[in-house]
Amino acid sequence: MAAVSWLIDRGPRGVSRESARLDEWMQDIAPSTGLRKWFGHDPERRDEFRDRYFAELDAATDAVQQLRDCLDEGPVTLVYGARDETHNHAVALKQYLETRDR
């Protein structure tokens, strides 16, 4: 099965879903606007951001289950807009999926 591309941001800046050739756009799995702004990709806030984001994901059961179902079918590429490849919500989401029970 070919990899599926999931945009996991609230909204892509200046790019349409069609032009980006995305399979899914999961706004509900992205961190809330308030949390995203508070974090600001500050490495010193990474651990607290992850804890707060995990709490949001715990409440987003339908979106998380939809992503898990897709992962059961094959590879998934998480597409995000952050410039920092280490301190971002995609890294935290991957950790969440690897460590949280279904």
pLDDT of residue 17: 60
Taking 90 as the threshold, does the pLDDT of residue 21 lie above it?
A: no
The predicted-structure confidence for 35-78, as pLDDT tens digits, reads as follows 999 998 899 999 999 999 999 999 999 999 999 998 998 888 88
pLDDT of residue 77: 84
12 pLDDT tier (thresholds 50, 70, 90): low
Question: 39, 49 in Cβ contact below 8 A?
Answer: yes
- Domain limits at 41? 4-99
Residue 86 burial (CB count, 10 A): 9
95 vs 25, higher pLDDT: 95
Q: By three-state DSSP, how is residue 23 classified?
A: coil
**Distance (Å, rounded) from C-alpha 42 to C-alpha 27?**
22
Look at the chain and report how many structural domains it folds into. Answer: 1
String of DSSP letters for 32-61: PHHHHHHHTT-GGGHHHHHHHHHHHHHH-H
Both tokens assigned to 18: 């069609």
